[in-house]
Amino acid sequence: MTVEPAKTWWTAQEIAHAGLPDMPGTKRGVNDLAKRLNWQLDLAHARRREGRGGGWEYSWMLFPLTARKRILAEARSGNEDPDPRRQRRSREDAWSWFERLPDKIKRRAQNRLAVIETVVALEGHGTTRFLAVEETAKAERIAPRTIWNWLEMIEGVAVCDRLPYLAPRHRARATKPGDRTADAPEFFELLKADFLRLEQPSFSACYRRAADVAKAKGWAIWPERTAQRRMEDRVPRVVQVLARQGVAGLERYYPPQIRDRSSMVAMEGVNADCHKIDVFVAWNADTVKRPQIIAFQDIYSGKILSWRVDWTPNKVAVMAAFGEVVETYGIPERCLFDNGHEFANKWMTGGARTRFRFKIRNDEPLGVLEQLGIKVSWARPGHGQAKPVERAFGDFADDIAKDPRFAGAYVGNRPDAKPENYGSRAIPLVEFLRVVEDRIAHHNARPGRRSHTARGRSFDETFAESLAVAPIRKATEEQRRLWLMGQEVRTLHKSHGRLMLHDNGYWSDWMNGHAGEKIVARFDPEDLHAGVHIYATDGAYLGLADCQQKTGFFDLASAREHHATLARRRREHRKLLEELRPGTAADVAAHLDELPPKEAERVEAKVVRPAFGTRPGKSDPVTPTPSAPSLATAETHQALIAEFKAPRPPESSSSTQDAEDRYARFRRALELEAALEAGDWVGKAEQRWLEGYRVQPEYRSMRKLYEGFGEGIFAG
């Protein structure tokens, strides 16, 4: 095995201090030896020194034989070559390192490679390497020694792999895994355990706690900026997010799934949601509230198909908006709903096994969607991007809520974004509905939409073009009853079969044959007097019952794959978090508890504040506080209890006896009031009696007499 020396190039100062045999021991002596032997004329073994100070460097091959033997002997005994220029990395590591370099450094390596290729080309035409280097150096206006150094850097390297080895050497050091934390492992592990937790403590606070424990235990400590930099280097950012923000925070660092609508047609799928409009609306003379709009949108085109406005989102408004969609355009194939109660109501989704609201019963009646054969999909809770209609609501927040006709009624989209004229006006309901209808029509007709399906057209044009060729199912008159009617499950009277619903009675003669049966009543919530349609629990239509008592009043597979990918990534990051955070907050707390208590420094006051007390002979008034009942008070208390427990005497018809009872009750009330005012103890029963007596007309009349005549009212 060939043994390479530990050091190839030597300065005169290094030669003098090395103590090599047959070599001078001073710098001047080495320079004289080099001059006498003409070392500087041997360009292959002598070169100008790069860096500050300049000077010459000489190869060990110029040294006397005894000196060279000493150098080789030291190389055999050494374990590692200290010269970084002899530490050549592998081909894969070199290219991986070169790829991470900035473009400025890469261009310098490319320029060096161009010079080397010029030298190689001259050699190929019969020129010696020495002359090729000299001529190339003159043409490029660089020192020949520089080119010789570059040639040495690529010695033994394949022609196709020379570029990364020619990059500047100050970028050549590779970072070894783990070498940055080797000098303070205990401190860094404690710091990670404190910092990587869901309470999201600041890095400075974690650093101070870890430093306090490390000082007490004698561990090595880094400066705070160094510790923070190494935390960023050693713990990936995504793992930090998982540890400090949980799964919800981690999901924000992954882009949402992109779904293609171009393969769909109009009315193939609709989606719906509710949105609170930031405007005060006067519903009547006494009620001012922000309205909620429920909108149905065609997924393919983005057109708003129908909408309803109410105080709160409810199933009646949802059914009315859905009925308008079906009556106007037809029956959609799919519905994408928000998972709110107003959309998951049993009127709409009864019988659907994928509903996540309300209890699912085997005998519940089928909802409108199930009976019309519409497939229901539910948007993921908390993910607005899952419903395309949310994008339209963003336009509503600007085009509708901030319409100039609503000036003074706009409330702001956040509690801290209220305008200066907040609450100065409320829009009448009729005017509000007129403006909303106008703005939604403009929203659908606005050209220049940049979606994949619109391609510069309006939503109306996109929807109309597709609807003209799309196979649309139209609803029959029997189906029309489904979405115009609410539904309730009731049991008919066991004798005559009459149905009681919302304080109204419904009956027809055919209902006698179904007395005592459980049925489904479908009705118009806005007109309860129009009668109800009766269905069996299996969906069969039975007939109409008249009102007798009018009292009034999509690609599912891709979605599953997307969620499975997110779940897999969460598991991977959780596993990595467990590896990088071996400690817990409990470990940090245990270390903190082991620290000796720190005594607080006593600081003497520099400014004395005078105390202004009471004058001699005066005393502060003492506020009476309730004390334990005395013996006399206890006896009175027991007497009152006995009075309450004693049976009432028979009522007398004598007015004199009634007057005496009246005066006795009032005197008792006065005694209890005086006891409470003095802070004496009064039982709860007496307090309840007094509170009930004070609201009686008798107490008020006796109080007026007492305030006018005092104790004289008891003299008679």
- Which CATH number is 13's domain given? 1.10.10.10
pLDDT at 80: 44
Number of domain units in the chain: 6
pLDDT tens digits along 495-541: 878 888 877 888 887 887 888 899 888 877 767 787 888 888 777 88
- Mean of pLDDT values over 699-703: 87
- Mean of pLDDT values over 677-701: 86
* Sheet containing 304-310: order of strands: 304-310, 292-298, 269-276, 334-337, 375-378
- Does the pLDDT at position 674 exceed 50? yes
- Which CATH number is 516's domain given? 2.30.30.130
Q: Which residue is listed with tokens 């592990």? A: 189
- Mean of pLDDT values over 1-9: 70
Residues 14 and 39 in one domain: yes
518, β-bridge pairs: 491
Residue 64 forms part of a structural domain: yes
Residues 63 and 96 in one domain: no
Residues 385 and 517 in one domain: no
**Mean pLDDT of the chain, nearest integer:** 79
Q: Which of 568, 593, 618 is the last residue of a domain?
A: 593
- Does the pLDDT at position 621 exceed 50? no
pLDDT tens digits along 146-184: 999 899 888 888 888 899 999 886 644 444 444 444 478
Distance between CA atoms of residues 569 and 250, nearest Å: 10
Residues 72 and 98 in one domain: no
Residues 34 and 81 in one domain: yes
- pLDDT band at residue 638, thresholds of 50, 70 and 90? low
- pLDDT band at residue 37, thresholds of 50, 70 and 90? confident
**Range in 227-231, 471-475, 686-690 the model is least confident about:** 471-475
Distance between CA atoms of residues 28 and 229, nearest Å: 47
Residue 585 forms part of a structural domain: yes
10 Å CB burial of residue 515 (0-12, 13-18, 19+) is middle
Centroid of chain to Cα 106:
41
Residue 609 forms part of a structural domain: no
Query: What is the span of the domain harbouring residue 314?
Result: 269-467
Question: Which ranges constitute the DSSP H helices of 37-143?
Answer: 65-77, 91-99, 103-124, 129-140
534, β-bridge pairs: 521, 543
Q: Are strands 281-282 and 427-428 parallel, antiparallel or unpaired?
A: parallel
Q: Are strands 499-501 and 532-536 parallel, antiparallel or unpaired?
A: unpaired
Instruction: Tell me the torsion sign for CA atoms 31, 37, 43, 45.
Output: negative
Beta strands in 287-364 (DSSP E): 288-289, 292-298, 304-310, 334-337
- pLDDT band at residue 309, thresholds of 50, 70 and 90? very high
Residue 600 forms part of a structural domain: no
Residue 649 forms part of a structural domain: yes
**Range in 11-25, 129-143, 426-440 the model is least confident about:** 11-25
Q: Which of 409, 441, 467 is the last residue of a domain?
A: 467
10 Å CB burial of residue 402 (0-12, 13-18, 19+) is middle
Q: Which two tokens stand for residue 390?
A: 């949310």
Q: What is the CA radius of gyration of the chain?
A: 46
Residues 563 and 576 in one domain: yes
Q: Which two tokens stand for residue 46?
A: 């002598």
* Sheet containing 46-48: order of strands: 9-11, 56-59, 46-48
- Does the pLDDT at position 660 exceed 70? no
What does the DSSP 8-state code read for residue 22?
Answer: T
- Mean of pLDDT values over 620-643: 50
Residues 299 and 431 in one domain: yes
Helix 103-124 vs helix 144-153: crossing angle, to nearest 10: 100
pLDDT at 658: 62
- pLDDT band at residue 443, thresholds of 50, 70 and 90? very high
CA angle 555, 557, 559 (to 5 degrees): 75
Residues 81 and 100 in one domain: no
pLDDT at 83: 46
- Which CATH number is 444's domain given? 3.30.420.10
Q: What totals of helices (H) and strands (E) does the chain contain, helices first?
A: 25, 17
pLDDT tens digits along 250-293: 777 676 666 667 778 888 889 988 899 999 999 988 889 999 99
